[in-house]
Structure 1
Amino acid sequence: MKNMKATTLWLAVATLVGAASLAHAQEIKGDAKAGEKKNAMCIGCHNIVGYQASFPVIYKVPKISGQNGKYIAAALEAYRKGDRKHPSMRGVAGSLTDQDIADLAAFYEANGKEASAAAVPAAAPEAPAAVKDKLAACVACHGANFNNTTDPANPRLAGQYADYIQVALRSYQTEGNHIFGRANATMGAMAKPLKEDEIKQIASYIADLPGELKTVPHGKFR
């Protein structure tokens, strides 16, 4: 009886703590101006047009200006927890507080949006027949045009660098590697059946789509 009462009390406390943590997370609001002052570790890669990373292969680092803030925050949290395995990003994310992440996410979501709003969108290309069905399965999360997502926790993909998309898809296929890979059940289920040529076709198509993602050069690199 005592053990049952102790277990019940422990569960009640755990529930309250979990609820409090969730409430705390929901209360954190990002400040774009504060984020602009905290991005010193980001600008050397994400604010240089065409900058290339060299791990696990040479590829362009992703465009994150104009990206959904909620997705940026989720990605940084995944790197911080180790669900996304990348040594450099794990080191950066591990140094950030919850408020830092919220501020950086708000900054990069807003960065360069005025220029995007003024741009005239181009016509979307026809999807390759060989991967048309696979691309159709992606729209449930990433939106019909891969730019307006159904949930801001999902990333915009239209116009993203093709070589980065390839690396991202391969990372969802990877298991058991302590320095490369991403743990996400949904994306793992989507990516693992893909063949290499299908990954390349999907990445190339998405990269050619008109979208709001961009790299905004930092003042130091203009």
Structure 2
Amino acid sequence: MNQLLSKIARTLVTAVTFSAVAVAAHAEGVNGNVEAGKGKAEMCIGCHGIVGYQNSFPEIHKVPKIGGQSAAYIVSALTAYKSGERKHPSMRGIAGSLTEQDMADLAAFYESQAEGQAPETQPAASAAVAQLLEKGNCASCHGANFNKPLDPSYPKIAGQYPDYLYFALKAYTVEGNNVVGRANPIMAGMAKQFKNAELKELANYLGSLQGNMKTVPQSKFR
């Protein structure tokens, strides 16, 4: 069974990697500008510029850290919200107003906030969590330290808020909901293997790790 799951995961990785290459080709020539992104980020700082700020709809959880996240992933996520592949009313509304240049500028700005480097080796997981990580084949996409993804369009997840990670993981298991859900086939296949309690264990471990993402307080909130 594990060999079958690994084969499926590798097939899906290949398919989505080709998709990521297609997106990159489509966006070729769109270079992000950090200073331009800083100005455009005014629409983002009401949530992403407040340390520990909590989203209240459709579920209470901390707004994710995006300072230091990879630019390619930020663009990928915004594109998914804009297309409806990711369902979140406020994020879809914001992403829907953005051009490719806007996304590239915002992504460059937030990527520039990376702080140092995550350690190459993270604290060992418990035996139970290690089994879950192996079952989900998590390191094959997100990297052995969960901060150096196989492809930059995949997210760094080490040190992300655990409650946000839990919300995100559950979203990949949801179907037929107008406000919650994510359609990524790799993550859907992975997340649907687990019970919610197991997804929470994974989220808590990944959130406990050291990464180089952070929430940078903006001037009006300092």
> TM bucket by the smaller chain?
0.7 to 0.9
**Number of the residue aligned with 1:6:** none
- Of 130, 133, 137, 1:132 maps to 130
Q: 1:70, 1:153 within 8 Å by CA — same for their partners in 2? A: yes
Tell me, yes or no, if structure 1 residue 102 matches structure 2 residue 104.
yes
The DSSP-based 3-state class of the residue aligned with 1:198 is helix
TM-score norm. by structure 1 comes to: 0.85
The DSSP-based 3-state class of the residue aligned with 1:27 is coil
**Number of the residue aligned with 1:192:** 192
| 1:1-222 map, 5 Å | 23=25, 25-111=27-113, 113=114, 116-117=115-116, 121=119, 124-136=122-134, 137-222=137-222
> Which of structure 1's runs of 4+ aligned residues deviate more than 4 A?
21-24, 119-123
Superimposed CA distance per residue, residues 124-149 of structure 1 (whole angstroms, 9 cap, x where no aligned partner): 32212223133131011100000111
CA distance in 1, matches of 2:130, 2:199: 12
TM-score norm. by structure 2 comes to: 0.85
CA distance in 1, matches of 2:107, 2:88: 19
User: Aligned residues, how many?
Assistant: 199
Structure with bigger gyration radius? 1
**Unpaired segments of 5 or more residues in structure 2?**
1-22
**Unpaired segments of 5 or more residues in structure 1?**
1-20
Q: Percent identity?
A: 56
Q: 1:65, 1:215 within 8 Å by CA — same for their partners in 2? A: yes
Deviation for aligned residue 1:55? 1.6
The DSSP-based 3-state class of the residue aligned with 1:173 is coil
Calculate the aligned-residue CA RMSD, in Å.
1.9
Q: 2:34, 2:112 within 8 Å by CA — same for their partners in 1? A: yes
CA distance in 2, matches of 1:40, 1:27: 25
